[in-house]
Amino acid sequence: MSYRLGFQNINDILNRNNHPKNQAIHSFLNVNDFDAFGAAEINRHWQNIPADHRLHTRCHSWFESTHSAIAYTITENPTTDWQVGGVCIWTRNQMTHRIS
């Protein structure tokens, strides 16, 4: 069995779950049929984003089954939701069941 893995510096995930870039990311994952995809420079301080706009909420319905994880600096306390850096990973379908 083989898996398709991808990684890209996406240079910012916007702070709203209805932004067109979210659909572009979803389409990119589907077209390229990635089982796992990592992204760098997501540039968000997720604690300052409302729960209904956080990454998991945005992508939980994208695939039959999906898992997302994020990492960002929590020692800083910015006054906005923008923060340099951060990474995330999405796994989907069979890959989700192998690592969850």
Whole-number Å distance between alpha carbons of 43 and 83: 5
At residue 99, the pLDDT reads: 61
User: Can you give the pLDDT at residue 5?
Assistant: 95
How far apart (Å, rounded) are the C-alpha atoms in residues 87 and 8?
10
Joined together, the tokens standing for residue 12 give: 């910012």
Q: What is the CA radius of gyration of the chain?
A: 13
Query: What average pLDDT does the chain have?
Result: 91
- Encode pLDDT of 66-85 as tens digits: 899 999 999 998 999 999 99
Split at pLDDT 50, 70, 90, the class of 96 is confident
Determine the average pLDDT of the residues in 38-48.
95
- 37, 73 Cβ separation under 8 angstroms: no
Q: Which amino acid is residue 32, in one-letter code? A: N
